[in-house]
Amino acid sequence: MRLRHLGQTGYLAAWEAMRAFTHARAPDTPDELWLTGHPPVFTLGAAGKPEHILRDMGIPVVQSDRGGQVTYHGPGQLVVYLLLDLRRRHLKVTEMVHGVEAAIIRMLGDAGLTTHRRKGAPGVYLGADGGGAKIAALGLKVSRGCTYHGLSLNVDMDLTPFAAIHPCGYPDLAVTCTRDQGLAFDVAEAGERLARQLVREFSDKESNHA
């Protein structure tokens, strides 16, 4: 699995690059993880409802082809795009989602923060039961058995724009970031920590099905 550190990228440029990569894939194309972040932008999933955007903050809105409803991307947030061949890894989409969540939970747990998944609401949430604020969001697209888009982890960011939306389509959903939970790492370190856990998670899947 190849790891690419892209720095900050424009959302539309990253989206187009993901689609082009996925369209050009061959059966033996290595999977890739892209670590990036974006200038302020609200993104709606393919079936996203505009009514989940509550007010205009002057932030661009993009309707993408990922799953899920509306979320916010901005400085201080880690975005990881997962360009994986599910067929080659013998993974179902739900298994991949659970694997991504497990990697985030392990990474945050190693830093001393207890988080959990929440049934029926992809992502990672504070608390042993997942009943707290949301700290990481997921949204994927599957094309020809391969995924693109991925996850966002709130690290050290201004959370104010989340108040202008129903995050992930849920009214009154609280959102937090690692800084506000007492974790000192920056986006770059968060990316390194999470990439290690994601590689571990999906390398295990690959070896188990070899």
CATH number at residue 166: 3.30.930.10
Could you write out the DSSP letters of every residue in 5-70? EEEE--HHHHHHHHHHHHHH--TTPPPEEEEEE-SSEEEE-TT--GGGB-S--S--EEE-SSSSSE
Whole-number pLDDT of residue 96: 97
Whole-number pLDDT of residue 156: 97
Instruction: Check if 146 is active-site.
Output: no
3-state SS, residue 179: helix
Whole-number pLDDT of residue 205: 58
3-state SS, residue 119: coil
Any alpha helices (H) in 118-210, and if so which ranges? 187-208
Domain count for the chain, please give it.
Answer: 1
Evaluate whether 41 touches 72 at the Cβ level (below 8 Å). Answer: yes
Whole-number pLDDT of residue 210: 39
Q: Residues of the chain whose pLDDT is less than 70? A: 204-210
Q: Tell me how far CA of residue 113 lies from CA of 62, 83, 125, 158, 190, in angstroms.
A: 32, 27, 10, 20, 13
Whole-number pLDDT of residue 148: 98
Check residue 71 and report its DSSP letter. Answer: E
Full-model pTM: 0.94
Check residue 132 and report its DSSP letter. Answer: S
Whole-number pLDDT of residue 130: 84
| Structural domain that includes position 116 | 2-208
Lateral strand order in the sheet of 2-8: 2-8, 32-37, 77-83, 146-154, 134-143, 124-126, 115-116
Catalytic: which of 35, 168, 177, 198?
168
Evaluate whether 194 touches 78 at the Cβ level (below 8 Å). Answer: yes
What distance in Å separates the CA atoms of residue 143 and residue 7, rounded to the nearest whole number?
A: 25
